[in-house]
Amino acid sequence: MSSLNASFSQNISIVHPEYFFIIGLTGIPYSGYYYIFIFITYFITVLGNSIVLLILVLHRSLHSPKYIGVFNLALADIGETNALIPNMMKIFLLDSQYISFNACLANMFFVFLFSTMQSLTLVVLAYDRFIAICLPLRYHALVNNTSVVLVFSAIWAFNSSVVALMVSSITRLSFCKSNVIQSYFCDHGPMFRLACNDNSFNGLMAYLITILYLVVPLIIIVLSYLGIFLALSKITTWQGRLKALKTCVSHLLLVGVYFLPISCSYIAAWLFSLTPNARIISTSLSYAVPPMLNPIIYVLNTAEIKDIIRKVVKNRSEPIRENI
């Protein structure tokens, strides 16, 4: 009887390693140069998005529903980049590939929280463009600062709850075989597959996260643009169509920059048996490059932000010319 009790208690015990080992790229010569490239993208991302946030906060003319969405996207870009890349640099450039169990869970939570915020922010921006073009007379009634702030508050709360559920489900897993994560951060998929007890709920959460934050947002955005193109077809002049479509260019670029790389990574992993190195390179680029490009897209395709930057540069250059 005592041996049976001992066996039962062993079966229900949960084993958590003190540390995980993040393996990163292996067997690739000069892989350090790739990490340096990622660090350069980090520097550009933080600088560019910080400038965008500063402009949006300081200029009251930009305190509108559209730019509240842009503010949230820039905030999510900075959050994801800071959750991912500094830790990546510490692990691989400083050869410190061990991370504690709790720190690993925290890293997973913040990376997925800010990444999912990017996805849903693009949906809100698509809704903004849909109402502005399809229902222009009702735009200010349906889309205003108060409603948009409430929507984003709900999204932050919802995302935090879903991601927290996904991360907390890791704590019920037992890691008694290996503590080596074949990724460049504490990634959910490679991590839960290390478990030696039932991980079916974690697999379900992985599918749910993919559908909820990749498939569904993409479908909603495509449907919104089908409605927009239908509304544009009813405009009689090409000049009118182009003028309305021009207001969507920056959003379409943001959607392409975010969804294309990550969708290609998922499709490649589904169709082919990717090596760990190929998966790490494809996913790390999908996470690192879009936040770097987003502020460039804001500046190049948004007349209001370009005008503000021109005025700032002009005001700064005039005292210099006077001194000369």
**Tens digit of each residue's pLDDT (9 = 90 or more) over 266-305:** 888 777 777 888 888 888 888 899 999 988 887 766 767 7
9, part of any domain: no
pTM: 0.87
Choose from 57-71, 80-94, 108-122, 236-250 the range with maximum mean pLDDT: 108-122
Burial (0-12, 13-18, 19+ Cβ within 10 Å), 64: middle
Three-state SS for 63?
coil
Task: Kindly report the backbone phi and psi dihedral angles of residue 186, in degrees, each rounded to the nearest multiple of 5, phi listed first.
Answer: -80, 75
Average pLDDT, the chain: 85
205, part of any domain: yes
CB within 8 A of 29, min separation 6: which ones? none
Q: Which domain CATH number covers 279?
A: 1.20.1070.10
Which DSSP letter does residue 137 get? Answer: G
- How far apart (Å, rounded) are the C-alpha atoms in residues 100 and 98? 7
Query: Measured in Å, how far apart are the chain's first and last C-alpha atoms?
Result: 94
Domain extent, residue 217, equals: 19-312
The number of beta carbons lying within 10 Å of the beta carbon of residue 190 is 19
pLDDT one-digit tens code per residue, 56-90: 888 887 788 888 999 999 999 999 999 999 888 88
pLDDT of amino acid 206:
92
Compute and round to an integer the Cα radius of gyration of the chain.
Answer: 23
323, part of any domain: no
85, part of any domain: yes
13, part of any domain: no
Could you give the number of structural domains in the chain? 1
Question: Do residues 74 and 53 make contact, with C-beta atoms less than 8 angstroms apart?
Answer: yes
261, part of any domain: yes
pLDDT one-digit tens code per residue, 1-54: 433 333 333 445 788 989 999 988 887 887 778 888 888 999 999 999 998 898
53, part of any domain: yes
123, part of any domain: yes
pLDDT one-digit tens code per residue, 132-150: 999 888 888 899 999 999 9
